[in-house]
Amino acid sequence: MNHRQRVLLSLLLLGCLCLPAAAATPSFADKVAAIAAAETAELARLDEALARAGDQAEVLALQRCAAYVKLASRLALCEAQLDRAAPDPAVAAALADQIDELSERVQIQETSLPADYSFAPLAAIAPEVPACDE
């Protein structure tokens, strides 16, 4: 991915983040687009950091982050498909098994990430929860 594509993708992602959250649940297509945009933007950011990395430990940490981003994105895509698979119990069961397996792998990979690293593929379209007045 060249620099121009990265800049355009970053601007697209920024535009998505600036839009107000909709009251309705995001559609499957919205979820897929958000996951793909978040994954692409984060992998581009990690790729740039890898290009500037100085020592082997930093390179290894960034590579672990990239592997985590890919796995977390795959998990988010499977979770997004779960609502669509509900009419077919066999498909829903197989998808639930895959989600369980991916969740375990994501949790294991989280233990090897830098303490300050986080990635949430659906953060751009997560519904905002109003604050409680107590």
Span 73-84, pLDDT tens digits: 999 999 999 888
Are 32 and 79 in contact by the 8 Å Cβ rule? The answer is no
Copy the structure tokens of residue 102: 């991916």
Copy the structure tokens of residue 1: 């991915």
CA R_g for the chain = 17
**pLDDT tier at 3, thresholds 50, 70, 90:** low
Q: What is the pLDDT of residue 54?
A: 87
How far apart (Å, rounded) are the C-alpha atoms in residues 41 and 20?
Answer: 20
Are 44 and 9 in contact by the 8 Å Cβ rule? The answer is yes
Per-domain residue ranges for the chain?
A: 25-121
DSSP 8-state secondary structure symbol assigned to residue 105: H
How far apart (Å, rounded) are the C-alpha atoms in residues 101 and 105?
Answer: 6
What are φ and ψ of residue 63, in 5° steps? -65, -40
How far apart (Å, rounded) are the C-alpha atoms in residues 10 and 4?
Answer: 10
Which residue's structure tokens are 């990430």?
Answer: 113
Q: Region 31-47: what's the mean pLDDT?
A: 94
DSSP 8-state secondary structure symbol assigned to residue 124: G
Which residue's structure tokens are 């297509």?
Answer: 29
Mean pLDDT estimate for the chain:
82
The residue count of the chain comes to 134
Q: Is residue 5 over pLDDT 70?
A: no
